Chain A
Amino acid sequence: MEKTTLFDKIWDAHVVRSVPSGPDVFFIDKHFIHEVTSPVAFLNLEKRGVSVKYPHRTVATPDHNVPTVDQDQTIKDKLSRMQVERLRENCNKYGIELHDLGSAHHGIVHVIGPELGITQPGMTIVCGDSHTSTHGAFGAIAFGIGTSEVEMVLATQCIMQSKPKKMRITVNGDLSSGVTSKDIILYIIAKISAAGATGYFVEYAGSAIQSLSMEARMTICNMSIEMGARGGLIAPDETTFNYLKGKQYSPVGEEWDKVVEEWSQLKTDDGAVFDKEYEFDAADIEPMITYGTNPGMGIKVKGNIPSTDGMEGSNKSSYLKSLDYMGFAPGEPVSGKKVDYVFVGSCTNGRIEDIRSVAQFVKGHKKADNITAWIVPGSKEVEKMAQEEGLVKILEDAGFELRQPGCSACLAMNDDKIPAGKYAVSTSNRNFEGRQGPGARTMLASPLTVAAVAVTGVITDPREVFQN
């Protein structure tokens, strides 16, 4: 029998029809929508006189531009309010499940999907948001789509897609103390560049990946898009099943046993061929930080910004433009640089484990005076757990400001903006120019590194601050 990859197995099971010399008609099991990329899709449905085909396959939540304070009050920003209201109207009109602001499971779409057990192995999942790749951590094919495609999924539950090429990235070995899954993915992107996986769907494998918790795996798959990949996925295993067991939408009883048996088959056959493979040693990975304006511009926290040696033409000019924006020079170290803001949150690192790790490390410390420290839980559920576990108190004692769930300063569509020229060390996923507000300078790092920066006020390797 032909050896196939996990990706092939899921993809091939969802092809309704292959268009000759064209894309596949690809069936979508679950569709997540939010307030920013769905309104025009609904509007166009109406213009066409078409309805939502299978409303039960779509789940909605407002997240991108919701305020993170006073969520029980009317949203002050008129345009944001209109988008959220439009989402409510559309969900109501078409019978789509909505986890609205203030409800028990409101939150970032990529946090609540897994949390509720909506995200399951073997599924195809899309959302009008590039970080849909997060759900691949469960062994699902999950990727971001544009608004025209949101409209297609609403109207027909399908999109037209050409099958991407396949890449496997294997990370073997043990992670050193102080190194997290965020460091793994920042390391990989720095190695293969922000465009290194364009055209590919990535499977992550190896002992270092298998040893990670579900939440840590989600961080890795989440940032697959930052190296250009359509998405990333990890074969489901006991860690996946244990995470999903008992979740609100997870099957129960005999049905559970049946699905676990099916899910256990979801893996790449020995000998299956990938179009491209990379292999890394976990022992080489140290705490990482970005210094430039794309996520591929990352170095060890204790490292130096690369020099321009060997660069020429537009490559060199783009590089220098990026460093100029950041206020950095080639060859200099980043360690010891003064920071103004830290942000813990987003669909990359706004989960309970992230907040636990920050709390554990800042317990008994105070944030430095020059730092404004924001913690934004990824969902109401995360917020509730953080309160019940006493993490909120620890963080507030350390001088962190806890806000309400949403995407927040990750993309600064709400009021949570980093002022122009200020430096933020952020657990979010993008350091693009102006991403956290016009002129903001973002450096991406793990929650642990953020904790160290918060306490010292400067770029710091967490291993130098926190001893176990």
Chain B
Amino acid sequence: MAYDKFTVLKSRAVPLPSENVDTDQIIPARFLKATEREGFGDNLFRDWRYDVEGNPKKDFVLNDPTYTGKILVAGKNFGSGSSREHAVWAIYDYGFRCVVSSFFADIFKNNCLNIGVLPVTVTPEFADKLLNAITEDPSTEIEVSIPAQTITLLSTGESESFDINSYKKDNMQNGFDDIDYLLSMESEIDQFEKTR
């Protein structure tokens, strides 16, 4: 599915410094029963966000109105575990367009790039810097630029560059997905299939 183009995003951010946040936390298995892609945001971080009666837990960051924004700054090894793309759908549906961490799980990162959520890998030091800045001043803004491949803490001007391969970079900036590309090379795939 095509998604909204992503070039430069300037936004406040939500801090979630926990390490090893797995996709079962991002969207628990019992909410994977839908046959359509929309609406997963309601259950993003369900068991951290709500108690068993469905009341919001006061100490969870998504329930703290102080923090808002389209950027989630997360702890190390974010998105490990299940390959469920629903985790990224939930993140996107909730309103995030960018996740920042010093370390992402592989499949999660691929899923992000495939549906238009930008995963930005920064150094552990810069991740800490961002987390501290947002926590101290929730109005802190961060700018993420795909053309420049940079992430900048606007309050201090501190910046880091991040990697994204030129193919995915082009896709994100144009809102394209891989299927458009693959469908364009149908005869080449047919030729290849005959050799299998």
Q: Contact: B20 with A79, CB < 8 Å?
A: no
Q: A83-B35, A159-B178 are in contact. Are A195 and B103 (CB under 8 A)?
A: yes
Q: Contact: A294 with B80, CB < 8 Å?
A: yes
CA distance A278 to B195 in the complex (A): 36
Q: Contact: B85 with A37, CB < 8 Å?
A: yes
Chain A residues with CB under 8 A of B178: 148-149, 152, 159-160
CB distance from A340 to the nearest CB of B (A): 18
Q: Which residue on B lies nearest to A36, using beta carbons? A: B32
Q: Contact: B179 with A151, CB < 8 Å?
A: yes
CA distance A71 to B184 in the complex (A): 43
Q: Which residue on B lies nearest to A199, using beta carbons? A: B106
Q: Contact: A195 with B77, CB < 8 Å?
A: yes
B49, CB-defined interface residue at 8 Å: no
Q: Contact: A23 with B167, CB < 8 Å?
A: yes
A144, CB-defined interface residue at 8 Å: yes
Q: A432-B25, A434-B28 are in contact. Are A157 and B52 (CB under 8 A)?
A: no
CA distance A432 to B82 in the complex (A): 10
Q: Contact: A29 with B24, CB < 8 Å?
A: no
- Other-chain contact of A318, B75, B86, B185 (Cβ < 8 Å): B75
CA distance A434 to B166 in the complex (A): 38
- Other-chain contact of A433, B25, B37, B166, B189 (Cβ < 8 Å): B25
Chain A residues with CB under 8 A of B29: 64, 411-413, 435
Q: How many A-B residue pairs have CB under 8 A?
A: 197
Chain B residues with CB under 8 A of A147: 37, 85-86
CB distance from A74 to the nearest CB of B (A): 16
- Other-chain contact of B24, A83, A230, A430 (Cβ < 8 Å): A430
CB distance from B114 to the nearest CB of A (A): 4
Q: Contact: B83 with A130, CB < 8 Å?
A: yes
- Other-chain contact of A438, B28, B35, B81, B179 (Cβ < 8 Å): B28
Chain B residues with CB under 8 A of A80: 33
Chain A residues with CB under 8 A of B85: 37, 128, 146-148
Q: Contact: B182 with A145, CB < 8 Å?
A: no
Q: Contact: A155 with B182, CB < 8 Å?
A: yes
Q: A50-B183, A145-B107 are in contact. Are A434 and B19 (CB under 8 A)?
A: no
Chain A residues with CB under 8 A of B30: 412-413
CA distance A346 to B121 in the complex (A): 33
Q: Contact: A79 with B166, CB < 8 Å?
A: no
Q: Which residue on A lies nearest to B88, using beta carbons? A: A146
Q: A19-B167, A147-B85, A162-B165 are in contact. Are A25 and B185 (CB under 8 A)?
A: yes
Choose, from A40-48, A166-174, A446-454, the stretch at the interface: A40-48
CB distance from B91 to the nearest CB of A (A): 13
CA distance A149 to B110 in the complex (A): 9
Q: Contact: A321 with B25, CB < 8 Å?
A: no
Q: Contact: B52 with A438, CB < 8 Å?
A: yes
B143, CB-defined interface residue at 8 Å: no
Q: Contact: A130 with B81, CB < 8 Å?
A: yes
Chain B residues with CB under 8 A of A315: 19
Chain B residues with CB under 8 A of A339: none
Q: Tally A residues with Cβ within 8 Å of B.
A: 76
Q: Which residue on B lies nearest to A40, using beta carbons? A: B37
Q: Contact: A40 with B20, CB < 8 Å?
A: no
CA distance A129 to B52 in the complex (A): 28
Chain B residues with CB under 8 A of A294: 20, 22, 80
B34, CB-defined interface residue at 8 Å: yes
Q: Which residue on A lies nearest to B19, using beta carbons? A: A318
Q: A79-B33, A80-B33, A145-B83 are in contact. Are A314 and B106 (CB under 8 A)?
A: no
Q: Which residue on A lies nearest to B82, using beta carbons? A: A130
Chain A residues with CB under 8 A of B24: 411, 430, 432-435
CA distance A164 to B181 in the complex (A): 21
**Interface centre among B18, B52, B81, by most A CB within 10 Å?**
B81
CB distance from B23 to the nearest CB of A (A): 9
Chain A residues with CB under 8 A of B111: 146, 148
Q: Contact: A44 with B1, CB < 8 Å?
A: yes
CA distance A27 to B194 in the complex (A): 12
- Other-chain contact of A43, B32, B35, B106, B110 (Cβ < 8 Å): B35
* CB proximity to B under 8 Å, residues A432-468: 432-435, 438-439
Chain B window 2-44, contacts with chain A (Cβ cutoff 8 Å), 1 for yes, 0 for no: 0000000000000001111010110011101111110000000
Q: Contact: A195 with B20, CB < 8 Å?
A: yes
- Other-chain contact of B167, A22, A50, A77, A152 (Cβ < 8 Å): A22
Q: Contact: B182 with A25, CB < 8 Å?
A: yes
Q: Contact: A23 with B114, CB < 8 Å?
A: no
Chain B residues with CB under 8 A of A69: none
Supply 29 A–B pairs (Cβ within 8 Å), ascending by A: A19-B167, A20-B167, A22-B166, A23-B167, A23-B168, A25-B182, A43-B35, A43-B37, A53-B189, A130-B107, A132-B83, A145-B110, A146-B88, A146-B111, A148-B1, A148-B111, A148-B114, A151-B179, A155-B179, A157-B189, A160-B178, A195-B76, A195-B105, A293-B20, A318-B19, A413-B32, A430-B22, A432-B24, A435-B29
Closest 9 CB pairs of A and B: A22-B167, A146-B85, A79-B33, A144-B83, A146-B111, A148-B114, A39-B35, A318-B19, A156-B182
Which residues of A line the B interface, CB within 8 A?
16-17, 19-23, 25, 27, 29, 36-37, 39-40, 43-44, 47-48, 50, 53-54, 64-65, 77, 79-80, 82-83, 86, 128-130, 132, 143-149, 151-152, 155-162, 164, 194-195, 198-199, 225, 228, 230, 293-294, 314-315, 317-318, 321, 411-413, 420, 430, 432-435, 438-439
With A159-B178, A228-B80 already in contact, 15 other A-B pairs whose C-beta atoms are closer than 8 Å: A21-B167, A36-B32, A37-B84, A40-B36, A54-B193, A83-B33, A130-B81, A160-B181, A161-B110, A315-B19, A318-B18, A413-B33, A432-B25, A434-B47, A439-B52
